[in-house]
A and B are shown apart, each in its own frame.
Chain A
Amino acid sequence: QVQLQESGPGLVKPSQTLSLTCTVSGGSISSGGYYWSWIRQHPGKGLEWIGYIYYSGSTYYNPSLKSRVTISVDTSKNQFSLKLSSVTAADTAVYYCARVVTVPSEALMYFDLWGRGTLVTVSS
């Protein structure tokens, strides 16, 4: 079955760029039909959508993070990535990657598969 796994540095210095990768196994990102998303959860807090990408490269971002976020896809490696620039301590969170089912004609969207998450701490 399809599985997602986040990877990347667990510690990032303030003002630097946070970079994470999500590797998809058991299925192809290029097969279509799904978007691929990043979601984060601040310690002890709720979930915050960061953005998502289609295999073709189409992206949608959370307006509150849009100026600092880039999500990209590498179909040859079956991976998609997150870059968040100019990080501060407020970006310390567990970052999850997830697969998104969307059917716009039915106003339908949901995250059906999630990675285990990776904690990223922003500190000098």
Chain B
Amino acid sequence: QSVLTQPPSASGTPGQRVTISCSGSSSNIGSNTVNWYQQLPGTAPKLLIYSNNQRPSGVPDRFSGSKSGTSASLAISGLQSEDEADYYCAAWDDSLNGPDVVFGGGTKLTVL
């Protein structure tokens, strides 16, 4: 059971806009920034969004992130076949022992 909650799956057709949600609590998303990672089949995760809505160099602007309260979202516009991957959200969690890193369970995006 992951600390951050994501839908296990999402889908869309080429050109569509898809959103993936990530729900947490006051100790993680509510008080820390959220990151998103893309994991293409058989590869290592790659940073997609950091600090809620910032894109690293090289990430297309089709990908955007947002955060409100204890939830965050990843939006992908102009969906392409190469976007088919697993997507994970992550954040610090302010536990008693110091900040832990928590991940969502991942969302498998299928491009129909």
CB of B103 within 8 A of CB of A109, answer no
CB of A106 within 8 A of CB of B103, answer no
Q: Say which one of A10-18, A69-77, A82-90, A110-118 lies at the interface with B.
A: A110-118
**A46-B105, A115-B44 in contact; A107/B50 too (CB < 8 A)?**
no
CB of A112 within 8 A of CB of B56, answer yes
Q: How does the 8 Å CB contact mask read for B17-56 relative to A, with 1 for contact and 0 for none? A: 0000000000000011101010000011111001100001
**A80 at the binding interface (Cβ < 8 Å):** no
CB of B100 within 8 A of CB of A62, answer yes
| Number of A-B residue pairs at CB separation under 8 A | 70
**B72 at the binding interface (Cβ < 8 Å):** no
CB of B92 within 8 A of CB of A117, answer no
Q: How does the 8 Å CB contact mask read for B75-112 relative to A, with 1 for contact and 0 for none? A: 00000000000001011100101111111111000000
B: number of interface residues (CB 8 Å): 29
CB of B32 within 8 A of CB of A109, answer yes
Q: In the docked arrangement, what's the CA distance between A113 and B50, Å? A: 12
**B68 at the binding interface (Cβ < 8 Å):** no
**A26 at the binding interface (Cβ < 8 Å):** no
Task: Please name all residues of chain A whose beta carbon is closer than 8 Å to the beta carbon of B37 when the two chains form the complex.
Answer: 47, 111
CB of B95 within 8 A of CB of A106, answer no
Chain A residue at minimum C-beta to C-beta distance from B105? A46
| Contacting residue for A108 out of B44, B45, B51, B100, CB 8 A | B51
Task: Please name all residues of chain B whose beta carbon is closer than 8 Å to the beta carbon of A96 when the two chains form the complex.
Answer: 44-45
CB of B44 within 8 A of CB of A49, answer no
Task: Please name all residues of chain A whose beta carbon is closer than 8 Å to the beta carbon of B47 when the two chains form the complex.
Answer: 110-113
CB of B46 within 8 A of CB of A110, answer no
Which 6 pairs between the two chains have the least Cβ-Cβ distance?
A: A49-B101, A110-B50, A107-B32, A110-B35, A114-B44, A46-B106
Binding site for B on A (CB under 8 A): 37, 46-49, 52, 60, 62-63, 96, 101, 104, 106-117
Interface pairs (23), CB distance under 8 Å? A46-B2, A46-B103, A47-B88, A47-B103, A52-B101, A60-B98, A101-B50, A106-B51, A107-B32, A107-B33, A108-B50, A109-B33, A109-B99, A109-B101, A110-B47, A110-B50, A110-B90, A111-B35, A111-B90, A112-B50, A112-B56, A114-B44, A116-B44
